[in-house]
Chains A and B, each alone.
Chain A
């Protein structure tokens, strides 16, 4: 986290519409900066989620009485965001974003990939409940040390005691290289977390965010989600 964000590059990225990818945790995981300028509904909501994550990481979640909005919510929900996350027990969505019942519509399946009915759920959140932000939330590796894979093994599978995530090694390598490059260029300090996958990487010595709880920016506004580009997904099971 030693890199200083290149404000010009970041501004250019924001202008170019790739801003969410460049959304940065400035100078460390506990402070947000680029988000302050966010203005559209989706960006503001994203800022709210990320601020909540910062509170969670800092060990300083709000202590809002859990019963506060229950009566109001019994009449209906209006979640500002929808999150597609993993079933992994270490990634309780509302907890890591420090948000309350009623705030976030949540779809969870091991591997956080889009299924037909998961898609229907997200569409329901947007079309009916008017959520303005969709976040696909992966999480860092499951912490288990992996035996070295041979070159012939092209698919990574998270181990027995972990989350079950399956990934294409080539796609993963590409993502890691992109993250490394962005970090090297100072474009996106937040993605130094990708270095967590490499003990000798640029973020060696910083907390592993599966336990540290950082969320890096991988969210895109609803209108900008390209079909078929939901990231690495595991092989699909047969249709229901």
Chain B
């Protein structure tokens, strides 16, 4: 599923000076750089979104990607890293019509950043050289639903309450927004965790500021099958 991007040198997708000159935080600077015509992480984002379009249209091609060849025993070089939800309706590779080896995936119910997930993402960026980090929320998220319910005093058994706690700040932030509270919380939770990645990780913040990675948020619609990028 990977296109050959060797045409562009490392220097051409490093825009550290431009990013810093704007004075923006890492992820904001990365978003600004989306406008640049030739940019490796952006091409990778395009690749992901094209895969989602194939999936949503019911014409995936990755089904042929079965147990892969010997090269994958040597190591992995996933170009994208995705923090997504555990929800069974959001199988990341399927949704993006990608095969083994393409995407490094962290999944926890509520797609929020925790210490161990952050370590996983840092590993993917620092060691595996992923250039795109995507936080993917989705419609109908049970963890978001639990977070909203928790604001009304509902409690949950075992460790389930931790999920609600983690998403609750987004529910609080979204409560005053116009429109649907549930949908707004889903998007707010993605945005908050996009921000958390650079706020909590020097590795990610520096890579984003240097333009070597792009960090974006998106929401998957479980009904239509489409992924919509958040701005």
Contact = CB atoms under 8 A, between A and B. Distances in A.
Interface of A: 56-61, 63, 65-67, 70-71, 73-74, 76-77, 79, 82, 87-96, 100-111, 113, 115-121, 123-125, 127-129, 142-144, 159-164, 208, 210-213, 236-240
Given A92-B99, A161-B76, A66 B222 contact: no
Nearest to B128: A161
B107 A124 contact: no
Contact of A161 (B66, B127, B224): B127
Nearest to A103: B88
Contact of A71 (B95, B104, B139, B223): B223
* Closest CB pairs A-B (n = 3): A213-B67, A143-B73, A161-B75
A106 B86 contact: yes
B17 to A, nearest CB: 28
Contacts of B87: 77, 105
A115 B166 CA distance: 14
Contacts of A119: 158-159
Given A117-B163, A120-B163, A123-B158, A237 B119 contact: yes
B69 interface: yes
B123 A59 contact: no
A159 B74 CA distance: 11
Contacts of A161: 74-77, 127-128
A233 to B, nearest CB: 10
Contacts, number: 221
Given A70-B225, A238-B115, A90 B101 contact: yes
A164 B120 contact: yes
A185 B69 CA distance: 32
B142 A211 contact: no
Nearest to B58: A67
Contacts of B180: none
Given A70-B224, A116-B114, A208-B73, 8 more contacts: A61-B66, A66-B60, A88-B76, A94-B93, A95-B91, A109-B116, A120-B162, A237-B115
Nearest to B127: A160
Contacts of A108: 105-107
A66 B89 CA distance: 11
Contact of B75 (A60, A87, A143): A143
A238 to B, nearest CB: 7
Interface residues of B, number: 71
Interface of B: 55-56, 58, 60, 62-63, 65-78, 86-95, 97, 99-110, 112, 114-117, 119-120, 123-124, 127-128, 139-140, 142-143, 146, 157-163, 166, 222-225
A117 B162 contact: yes
Nearest to A62: B63
A67 to B, nearest CB: 4
A75 B126 CA distance: 39
A210 B77 CA distance: 14
Q: Which of A73, A91, A123, A142 has the most CB of B within 10 A?
A: A123
B128 to A, nearest CB: 7
A88 B92 CA distance: 13
B101 to A, nearest CB: 5
Contacts of B107: 106-108, 121
A161 B74 CA distance: 8
Given A71-B223, A164-B120, A90 B72 contact: yes
B158 A125 contact: no
A87 B120 contact: yes
Contacts of B104: 87-89
Contacts of B142: 124, 128-129
A95 B106 CA distance: 16
Contacts of B140: 74, 76
Contact of A124 (B55, B72, B97, B109): B109
Contacts of B223: 70-71, 74
